[in-house]
Structure 1
């Protein structure tokens, strides 16, 4: 990332004539569509602007960016709506969060698809909600009525919130990060959900199949793993271990939403692995990604694939 590319970012953000009513990505450089800005994103978090850098830029880049931020605040739209502009150094070991302007609020509540999600903005990799999965959560909300749902690698339970809002009978969330599940419980409370319909299992999946089966069979299984989690999950090696256990977890006409967000792994990987490990699962479609996440190579972006049990 070089300072010479910043006018392109400036032009893009100055074209905004109103800020969204709900959380949105405003600029997606990681889709490789903006030369020189491939490692920067800008998100609207309901009054806070979050700029994220995924690679350390040239030394002159950040001072130039700070000067540009000052010019944005002079724009009436920004002056009247923006409370703070934050810079998140995602590539640094401490994931430093820098306040470029305004008042910093670490605990942030945002709205997506009329649901409330609680974010933690600070020195950590992720804030609690992956914005590129917006259409996936919307699909779950529209298709969860009266279903028993299993949410694997649940993180802060975004899919679970969507499922309960959509009328799911029960959602079982599994994630080895208990702190993330605690945030998920808070997300449900923020939406005034009945927590008696939600289970939180803070376990490593591959040691917990018995616990998972206990609450089945499931009408909908959501699999949204990290690409790599040291000591517990490597996508290309371990995804198949999940898929081969699906038949013992699923109801007769169950659906599976299987996701991959690794640029080096394409949709066909999942289609082929599913055909090999759980051949009764039929590929239905790939869900669209939100338009603001345009990628020069669609197979490098998020892949959310829907399968249905063929009986």
Structure 2
């Protein structure tokens, strides 16, 4: 990271914090390759907490310069006026993604807001905090289309889509994910929003061994598919996504909708559109949702893909 790149990041953060966003937002998205020399950096505003993540190693001198810049930022008027109180530096490229608290008292959990809804994040303990900020528009789309619907949320993680669906008036939501700890956090997220948990089912199972359990709660009016690009032993996007798509027609009600997502940079939107046409020709492509403006990308097809389909 050159001194010029570091100065660019510093200036960007000063502007982003003046004023600070009212809700959780990404402040700097270097991974979109729009700022040369900063491709390995992201910065998230977690409403009082600034989380800086490094996705590639820096030399010792570079790392020290980055830390010095961040501590200098914490003395700026923009920082003081923002209400920020904690500063974290996460090294995502290392095993277990260790996080250093440069400023503030360490806490394990932190509650934030997005689109008026509350979510509980993990700070400093896990690779991911518990909410993928680039899917903000996807959650808003689900909230806007969930009224009265029966919803299936596959690869549910901490149930962000489920929270959005219940907030939008969904009649019932089924969340499935192999990680039971993530689903437990999903329950926490629903409780934070005073949701009726009798309307929500949490299935801690391997999807490919649990189609019968999934079908039992159907058919569904809306299905959300947001899998990891790769998860050792459980999911490989190119191999396993088609297996999910071919099950959709039997799980969907007439005129049901699907939100199919991928964050794999090497796979563009055409892959999902063509795979759907091949595996589930009853479903037709409607639109690709826009990504939030705070996630610019010099190669849009490499960014998050959130595609809407409907059953004819």
TM-score, with structure 1 as normaliser: 0.98
User: Could you list the runs of 5+ residues in structure 1 that have no partner in the other structure?
Assistant: none
Residue of 259, 262, 266 corresponding to 1:260? 262
Match of 2:62 in 1: 61
Matching of residue 224 in structure 1 with residue 226 in structure 2: yes
Q: Quick check: 1:84–1:100 contact (8 Å CA) kept in 2?
A: yes
| Residue 50 (structure 2) aligns with | 49
Q: Does 1:34 align with 2:44?
A: no
Match of 1:135 among 122, 134, 137: 137
CA apart distance, 1:189: 0.2
CA distance in 2: counterparts of 1:128 and 1:54, whole angstroms: 18
Unaligned runs of 5+ in 2: none
**Are the equivalent residues in 2 in contact too, given 1:2–1:58 (CA < 8 A)?**
no
Alignment-derived partner of residue 213 in structure 1: 215
Superposed displacement of residue 79, structure 1: 2.2
Counterpart CA distance in 1 for 2:304 and 2:35 is 18
TM-score of the superposed pair, with normalisation by structure 2: 0.98
- How far apart in 2 are the matches of 1:14 and 1:45? 16
Q: Any idea what SS the aligned residue of 1:119 has? A: strand
Query: Partners in 1 of 2:248 and 2:179 — Cα distance?
Result: 23
Please name the residue that 1:18 is paired with. 19
CA contact (8 A) 2:86 2:102 kept: yes
Q: CA deviation at 1:14?
A: 1.6
Deviations 1:266-298 (A, max 9, x none): 000000000000001000000000000000000
Question: Residue 8 of structure 2 corresponds to which residue in structure 1?
Answer: 8
Matches within 5 A, 1:118-157: 118-157=120-159
Contact persistence 1:3–1:60 (CA under 8 A): no
* 8 Å CA contact retained: 2:27, 2:45: yes
Question: Which is worse superposed, 172-181 or 92-101?
Answer: 92-101
Query: In 2, are the aligned partners of 1:2 and 1:57 still within 8 Å (CA)?
Result: no
What is the CA–CA distance in structure 1 between the aligned matches of 2:292 and 2:300, rounded to whole Å? Answer: 12
Secondary structure in 1 matching 2:60: coil
Q: Distance in 2 between matches of 1:35 and 1:86?
A: 23
Q: Following TM superposition, by how much is the alpha carbon of 1:2 offset from its aligned partner in structure 2, in angstroms?
A: 4.0
Map Cα deviations across residues 102-145 of structure 1 (whole Å, 9 max, x no partner): 22322100000000000001232101000000000000000000
Check conservation: 2:120, 2:188, Cα contact below 8 A: yes
Runs of 4+ in 1 over 3 A off after TM superposition: 1-4
The alignment covers a number of residue pairs equal to 310
**Aligned residue for 2:297?**
295
Larger mean CA deviation between 136-145 and 16-25 belongs to: 16-25
Deviation at 1:4, TM superposition (A): 4.3
In 1: Cα distance, 2:109 partner to 2:311 partner: 41
